[in-house]
Chain A
Amino acid sequence: MFRRLPDPRARPVHFTFEGEALTAHSGDSVAAALLGAGIGHSRTTPKSGTARAPYCMMGVCFECLIEIDGVPNRQGCLVEVRDGMAVRRQQGAPGLPEDLAGEGGQ
């Protein structure tokens, strides 16, 4: 969904998303790295479970909330992607037992 302008001086950064190996450029935020890798959505909502993707990319919309190295609720647009990072989609409200998540919650 996003393409990259040629940048011969960029250093590749290797990370995983949902276990799949992906490559970003150094200096990318996690959210930008996912856009660049063609990841369509990065979280689902706690209420209806619908797919969401980053909206503002500057730390105000919280649509890029994501799990990074086991820590949920990170703002993907504010964290720089690093070699070896394990990134996972944030499904619904993290850390909430299913019976508390409400109808349609995960």
Chain B
Amino acid sequence: MTRTDLAIIGAGPAGMSAASTAREAGLSVLLIDEQPEPGGQIWRAIERNASTRPEALAFLGPDYADGAARADRFRASGANYWPSSMVWHLDCPEEGDKTLLVAWDGVTRQVQARTVLIATGAMERPVPVPGWTLPGVMTIGAAQTVLKSSGLYPEAPLVLAGSGPLLLLFAAQCHAAGIPVAAVLDTTPSGAMLRGLPYLPKALFGWRSLLKGRRLMRVLAQSGIPVYRQVEGLEALGAERVEHVRFRSGGKAVKLEATTLLLHEGVVPNPQLTRLIGCEHRWDRAQRCFHPVLSDRGETSVPGVFVAGDGGGIGGAIAAENAGRIAALEIAEDFGAVNRPSGDIEIVKARDNRRAQMAVRPLLDAMYPPPAWIGKLDGDVPVCRCEEVSARAVRGAAADGAPGPNQAKAFLRAGMGPCQGRMCGLTVTEILADAHGKEPDAIGYYRIRPPIKPVTVGELAALDGAD
């Protein structure tokens, strides 16, 4: 068994920053992460690229390269670091320490932590268009991940489809790396600038992000990549794998060849751990996803469990780092490890930095609204990929009296496959909300139970008592 003052889950911007900060205050810190290397998704493979592939830093851009210094700081912090390790249970009794069960290399290690910081970040919103289960259809983030970690890129013709900053960034990265993009299918509804305008004054606090966004739009415009606007009715077609994409753009039907189709409709908090501990969540209408309810300190409704970074609401890497710092300082103050005046000054600074980053979110939410069609889905399109449950079946369950996702799950097995609802949870909530004419808050979400990742019987049996 391992004991620690602070257990952090996730080695992205929030987790690394919190670990470094808490160590500086003298706390014992254990950081647990699924990946073999620190950096999270945004700074994936940053250490390897910084040391052996400088050309990758050039096309991935300066914001990616910035991750190297963050990883260095984390490595030097003296935090205990368990890479390639999976938290499959987090138990938070009312009194005393929290218990984490962590699968690593075929055994389960037990951790007793006085406090826990969940920094598991975001995932891309699942985009259940017809054909999305065909091999060759992936998320933009998936392709970006293999580009960062392995220098792999999809063969031509490559089609990107969706909306939002990551689509623009990835198109720019492909262009800079010399990777041909056959077409960008922009699903953003018309009038993005007009919708964003009311939010522009406040967003100017985050002027750096705005300039970056403008630069990315310009790169795409000058790249020569054909861009189809106001794309609707997107479908992936093919027998064994994707061969074509079909869609409407400006009222015209278009069909293009595609070897790979990459989808992106924004990112949403990865809900698994906050749902597992049963903390309070609230539906965010602008972002069409649930957020855990957090105090100013970053604490959930479960005392002693904090969330920092995109897992608590989307804000990007710099906002996440500052949220990690805020949570770590608050925890250190609770422990009496930093004296209040100096700790509070640091917290105020981190809050200001975070606020400047979050200032652009309402503008982005207005310009790139999450897809409204997901809640309207019907027909054969698979909603739950694991158990192959269609949108029509989910509507049928609603008609048969399923008031929420847990009843739909019992009726249909949706959410009972290996991904445990990660891929269908939001869609099922949205369809049921639409079918019942209720708000998603009233419909709720899947109850998440341990183990939150599949573990082998061996990993269950080999629970270490002493470590």
Q: Interface on A for B, CB 8 Å cutoff? A: 1-5, 7, 9-10, 25, 27-29, 32-33, 35-36, 40-41, 45, 47-48, 50-63, 65, 71, 73, 75, 77-78, 80
A75 to B36, CA, bound (A): 13
Instruction: Verify if B222 is at the interface (C-beta below 8 Å from A).
Output: no
Known: A32-B149, A58-B41. 15 other contacts (CB 8 A): A4-B151, A10-B151, A25-B151, A35-B146, A36-B152, A40-B241, A51-B240, A56-B138, A56-B141, A57-B143, A59-B34, A61-B419, A61-B422, A78-B35, A80-B84
Task: List B residues 235-249 near A (Cβ within 8 Å).
Answer: 240-241
For A7, A55, A75, which residue has the most chain B Cβ atoms within 10 angstroms? A55
Task: Decide: A7 and B151 in contact? CB cutoff 8 A.
Answer: yes
A28-B150, A29-B149 known; A78-B84 Cβ under 8 A: yes
CB distance from B135 to the nearest CB of A (A): 4
5 contacts between A and B (CB under 8 A): A4-B151, A4-B152, A10-B151, A56-B141, A58-B123
A58-B142, A60-B123 known; A35-B422 Cβ under 8 A: no
Contact with A along B233-263 (1 / 0, CB 8 A): 0000000110000000000000000011000
Task: Decide: A48 and B142 in contact? CB cutoff 8 A.
Answer: no
By a CB distance below 8 angstroms, the chain A residues around B123 are 56, 58, 60
A65 — nearest CB in chain B belongs to which residue?
A: B418
CB distance from A8 to the nearest CB of B (A): 10
A80 to B56, CA, bound (A): 20
By a CB distance below 8 angstroms, the chain B residues around A75 are 453
Task: Decide: B150 and A32 in contact? CB cutoff 8 A.
Answer: yes
Task: Decide: A60 and B423 in contact? CB cutoff 8 A.
Answer: yes
Task: List B residues 378-436 near A (Cβ within 8 Å).
Answer: 385-388, 417-419, 422-423
B52 — nearest CB in chain A belongs to which residue?
A: A9
For B150, B385, B417, B456, which residue has the most chain A Cβ atoms within 10 angstroms? B150
CB distance from B56 to the nearest CB of A (A): 8
Task: Decide: A51 and B150 in contact? CB cutoff 8 A.
Answer: no
By a CB distance below 8 angstroms, the chain A residues around B240 are 40-41, 51
A32 to B149, CA, bound (A): 9
Instruction: Verify if B314 is at the interface (C-beta below 8 Å from A).
Output: no
By a CB distance below 8 angstroms, the chain B residues around A29 are 149-150
A39 — nearest CB in chain B belongs to which residue?
A: B135
Task: Decide: A53 and B388 in contact? CB cutoff 8 A.
Answer: no
CB distance from B236 to the nearest CB of A (A): 12
A58 to B151, CA, bound (A): 16
Task: Decide: A60 and B177 in contact? CB cutoff 8 A.
Answer: no
Task: Decide: A5 and B133 in contact? CB cutoff 8 A.
Answer: no
Instruction: Verify if B45 is at the interface (C-beta below 8 Å from A).
Output: yes
Task: Decide: B150 and A47 in contact? CB cutoff 8 A.
Answer: no
Task: Decide: B150 and A52 in contact? CB cutoff 8 A.
Answer: no
By a CB distance below 8 angstroms, the chain B residues around A7 are 53, 151
Task: Decide: A3 and B152 in contact? CB cutoff 8 A.
Answer: yes
A72 to B66, CA, bound (A): 38
Instruction: Verify if B145 is at the interface (C-beta below 8 Å from A).
Output: yes
Interface of B is mostly: loop
Task: Decide: A3 and B419 in contact? CB cutoff 8 A.
Answer: no
Task: Decide: B422 and A2 in contact? CB cutoff 8 A.
Answer: no
Of A41, A57, A65, A73, the contact of B145 (CB 8 Å cutoff)? A57
A33 — nearest CB in chain B belongs to which residue?
A: B150
Task: Decide: A57 and B154 in contact? CB cutoff 8 A.
Answer: no
By a CB distance below 8 angstroms, the chain B residues around A48 are 388
Instruction: Verify if B48 is at the interface (C-beta below 8 Å from A).
Output: yes
By a CB distance below 8 angstroms, the chain B residues around A55 are 132, 137-139, 142, 385, 423
For A2, A53, A78, which residue has the most chain B Cβ atoms within 10 angstroms? A2
Task: Decide: A5 and B142 in contact? CB cutoff 8 A.
Answer: no
CB distance from B337 to the nearest CB of A (A): 33
Task: List B residues 176-231 near A (Cβ within 8 Å).
Answer: 177
By a CB distance below 8 angstroms, the chain A residues around B145 are 57-58, 77
Instruction: Verify if B303 is at the interface (C-beta below 8 Å from A).
Output: no
A52-B135, A56-B142, A78-B84 known; A62-B417 Cβ under 8 A: yes
By a CB distance below 8 angstroms, the chain A residues around B41 are 58
By a CB distance below 8 angstroms, the chain B residues around A3 are 152-155
By a CB distance below 8 angstroms, the chain A residues around B138 are 53-57
A41-B241, A54-B142, A57-B145 known; A27-B150 Cβ under 8 A: yes
A50 to B385, CA, bound (A): 11
Task: Decide: B150 and A4 in contact? CB cutoff 8 A.
Answer: yes
CB distance from B133 to the nearest CB of A (A): 7
Task: List B residues 303-356 near A (Cβ within 8 Å).
Answer: none
A51 to B133, CA, bound (A): 9
Of A25, A32, A51, A71, the contact of B135 (CB 8 Å cutoff)? A51
Task: Decide: B48 and A27 in contact? CB cutoff 8 A.
Answer: yes
Of A28, A33, A63, A77, the contact of B385 (CB 8 Å cutoff)? A63
CB distance from A3 to the nearest CB of B (A): 6
A32 to B143, CA, bound (A): 10
By a CB distance below 8 angstroms, the chain B residues around A28 are 149-150
A10 to B136, CA, bound (A): 26
A6 — nearest CB in chain B belongs to which residue?
A: B151
A40-B240, A52-B133, A73-B418 known; A2-B154 Cβ under 8 A: yes
Task: Decide: B135 and A41 in contact? CB cutoff 8 A.
Answer: yes
By a CB distance below 8 angstroms, the chain A residues around B56 are 5
